[in-house]
Amino acid sequence: MVTENPSKSPIVDSLNHMVVVLPLPCIRCGYELRNLAADGDCPECGEPIRLTIIESIDPASRRLTPIQNPKIIGNAISGIVISFFISIILAVTALLISSPSQLPIPDTLRELPANAFLWAAASMGLLAFLNITPLMRMCQRKELVGCRTGIMLTGSGILLWSINMLAVNYFSLSLGDLSPVYNMLLDTCLPVISTSIIFSGFRKLIPRLGQRSRAFRQAQGSRQRMNDLLATLVVIIIGRTLLVASTPNSGTATLGLIVMVMSISLIVIGLGYLVRNTLWIRRALVTPPPTINELLRSSE
C-alpha cells in the first residue's frame, strides 16, 4: 500500500500533464519556466512551479466587471498622478525660493526665478488635466461605472490648482504688495483647497481601479491612503496661520515654519507612494495577468 505524501499540494493533481506555454519567470530566481511541466520544480532553484503560477494569475481581478480600453485608463491615471506630483514639486520649489530668511535655503536656490517654477507647475497641472479628459469622455459613455464622481472631483481640482498657480505668480510675485492675509489666501489656502479636491477625487477613483491590481490590493502597509494626506493639508493651514499671526523671528513663527515644512514634506512623500501605486494599477490594466487557460496547455 502506497501512502500519499501529506505535504503534496492538491493543486499538483490538477496540474498533471500541463505545460507552461507563456513566458513565465520563476518568482524566486527569475529562471524562464516556459515549456516546463506545471507540476514540476524550477530547475535552477527548486521552487515549485505551481507557486509561480499561483502568483502570476489573478482570479480576483477576473471576477470584476470588464472595462473597455484598459490601456487608455492605465496610461491616463498614471499620467494624472505623475504630472500632479511634478507640479507639486515645482510649486514647493517656488515656495522655498521665496521662503522666510530663517529657513536655511542655499543661496543658489534662492537666486532662481520663482515665477518660472510657478509657470511650470501650472503647465504640469494642465498636463494632468489633459490626461483626465479621456476618462471624462469614457465616463460620459458609461464605460467607467462608479468612477464619475472621482473623475469630476479630480478634474475640477486640477484645473483650480493650475489657475491658482497662475494667480500666485501674478498677484504675489509680480505685484508683490499684498498683505500677509491675502498672500496666505493665494499661496496656502487656495492651493490647499484645490489639492483637497484632487485628493478627494483620488480617494474615490484610485482604490476602485486598484482592485484590478494584486500588488495594490495586497500592499496594506505601503498603499497611500488619501485620508492621511487630507489631514496633512489641514496641518499646513495651521502652520501658515501661526506664521501670519506671529511676529517675524519669534518662537511662534519658527514653530509655524517647522509645521509647514514637515507637512509639505509628508505630502510630497505621500504623493511619491501614490505614484508607485498608480504604476501598479497601470501595469495590471495595460498588461493584465494571464488566465490559467492561457498560461497552461495539456502535454498529451
Q: What is the DSSP letter of 211?
A: T
pLDDT average, residue stretch 201-214:
88
pLDDT at 2: 35
Least confident of 1-10, 83-92, 155-164, 227-236: 1-10
The answer to whether residues 283 and 213 touch, using CB atoms and an 8 Å cutoff, is yes
pLDDT average, residue stretch 221-246:
86
pLDDT interval class at 175 (50, 70, 90): low
| Tens of pLDDT, residues 28-43 | 999 999 999 888 899 9
Res. 185: pLDDT tops 80? yes
Higher pLDDT residue, 104 or 197? Answer: 197
Distance between CA atoms of residues 181 and 172, nearest Å: 11
pLDDT at 1: 34
pLDDT at 107: 80
Average per-residue pLDDT for the chain: 85
pLDDT interval class at 7 (50, 70, 90): very low
Which residue type occupies 98?
S
pTM of structure: 0.82
The answer to whether residues 131 and 278 touch, using CB atoms and an 8 Å cutoff, is no
Q: Three cell numbers at 75?
A: 496610461
pLDDT average, residue stretch 61-83:
87
pLDDT average, residue stretch 226-234:
92
Long-range contacts formed by 90-95: CB under 8 A, 24+ apart: 90/117, 90/118, 90/120, 90/121, 90/124, 91/117, 91/118, 91/121, 91/165, 91/191, 92/264, 92/268, 93/117, 94/118, 94/121, 94/168, 95/187, 95/264
